[in-house]
Chains A and B, each alone.
Chain A
Amino acid sequence: MTKQVAIVDYFVIDNGPAHLEAWEAVDSGALFFDRRNADAASGGTEFKRKQLSDTGVVRSFTIVQRGVPGVPVPYISALVDLDGGGCVKTNISNCPPDPEHVKLGMRVKLTTFIAGTDDDGTEAVAFAFEPAN
Chain B
Amino acid sequence: MSTDNVWILGTHMTKFGRHPGSDLIDLASQSAMGALKDAAVTIHDMEVLGCGSLFNAQAGVGQQLQKQIGQTGIPVYNVANACATGATALRTVYLTIKAGEADMGLAVGVEQMGKGGLLGAGGMGDRARKVYEPKGRYGSVMQVEGLLGTGLMPGVFAQAGMEYAYENGGVGFEQFAKVAEKNHAHSTLNPLAHYQKQFTLDEIMGADMMSYPNTLLMCCPNTDGSAAAVLVSEEKLRTLSREQQERAVKISASVLTTDPWTERSSVQPDVNTLTRNAAKKAYDISGVDPKDLDLVELHDCFATAELIHYDNLGLCDPGTAGEWIDKRGPWRDGEIPVNVSGGLISKGHPIGATGLANIYEVATHLRGEAGDRQIPDAKVGLTHVIGLGSACGVHILEKSAL
Contacts known (A40-B261, A99-B212); A91 close to B159, Cβ less than 8 A: no
User: Is A8 a contact of B144 with CB atoms below 8 Å?
Assistant: yes
User: Is B148 a contact of A91 with CB atoms below 8 Å?
Assistant: yes
Interface: B264 (CB within 8 A): yes
**The one of B123, B166, B211, B268 that contacts A65, using a Cβ cutoff of 8 Å:** B211
Chain A 75-87 interface 0/1 with B at a Cβ cutoff of 8 Å (1 = within) = 1011100000001
Number of interface residues of B (CB under 8 A): 46
**Please, how many angstroms separate the alpha-carbon atoms of A34 and B265 in the complex?**
13
**Please, how many angstroms separate the alpha-carbon atoms of A48 and B134 in the complex?**
20
Interface: B121 (CB within 8 A): yes
Chain B 227-241 interface 0/1 with A at a Cβ cutoff of 8 Å (1 = within) = 000000000000000
Interface: A18 (CB within 8 A): no
Beta-carbon contacts under 8 Å, B268-288 to A: 268
User: Is A64 a contact of B159 with CB atoms below 8 Å?
Assistant: no
User: Is A87 a contact of B268 with CB atoms below 8 Å?
Assistant: yes
Nearest CB in chain A to that of B263: its residue: A87
| Least distance between A47 CB and chain B CB atoms (Å) | 13
Chain B 307-350 interface 0/1 with A at a Cβ cutoff of 8 Å (1 = within) = 00000000000000000000000000000000000000000000
| Least distance between B168 CB and chain A CB atoms (Å) | 11
Nearest CB in chain B to that of A113: its residue: B147
Q: Which B residues are CB-close (under 8 A) to A77?
A: 146, 149-150, 155, 159, 211
| Least distance between A110 CB and chain B CB atoms (Å) | 12
**Please, how many angstroms separate the alpha-carbon atoms of A46 and B129 in the complex?**
38
**The one of B123, B137, B144, B268 that contacts A79, using a Cβ cutoff of 8 Å:** B268
Chain A 91-133 interface 0/1 with B at a Cβ cutoff of 8 Å (1 = within) = 1000000010000110000000001101110101011000000
| Least distance between A85 CB and chain B CB atoms (Å) | 9
**The one of B139, B159, B266 that contacts A9, using a Cβ cutoff of 8 Å:** B139
Contacts known (A32-B266, A77-B155, A79-B159); A67 close to B146, Cβ less than 8 A: yes
Interface: B45 (CB within 8 A): no
Chief secondary structure at chain B's binding surface: loop
Interface size class of A (residues with CB under 8 A): 35 or more
Q: Which A residues are CB-close (under 8 A) to B208?
A: 65-66
**The one of A30, A64, A120, A127 that contacts B211, using a Cβ cutoff of 8 Å:** A64
Q: Which A residues are CB-close (under 8 A) to B267?
A: 33, 79, 87-89
Contacts known (A62-B158, A63-B212, A66-B211); A71 close to B264, Cβ less than 8 A: no
Nearest CB in chain B to that of A62: its residue: B158
Contacts known (A35-B137, A59-B166, A61-B159); A30 close to B148, Cβ less than 8 A: no
User: Is B118 a contact of A66 with CB atoms below 8 Å?
Assistant: yes
A positions within 8 Å CB-CB of B: 5-10, 30-35, 40-41, 59-68, 71-73, 75, 77-79, 87-91, 99, 104-105, 115-116, 118-120, 122, 124, 126-127
Report, nearest first, the 5 A-B pairs whose CB atoms are least far apart.
A9-B139, A71-B146, A62-B158, A89-B149, A63-B212
- Apart from A31-B266, A89-B148, what 14 extra A-B contacts exist at CB < 8 Å? A8-B138, A34-B137, A60-B163, A61-B159, A64-B154, A65-B210, A66-B208, A68-B143, A87-B267, A91-B146, A91-B149, A99-B213, A115-B147, A124-B132
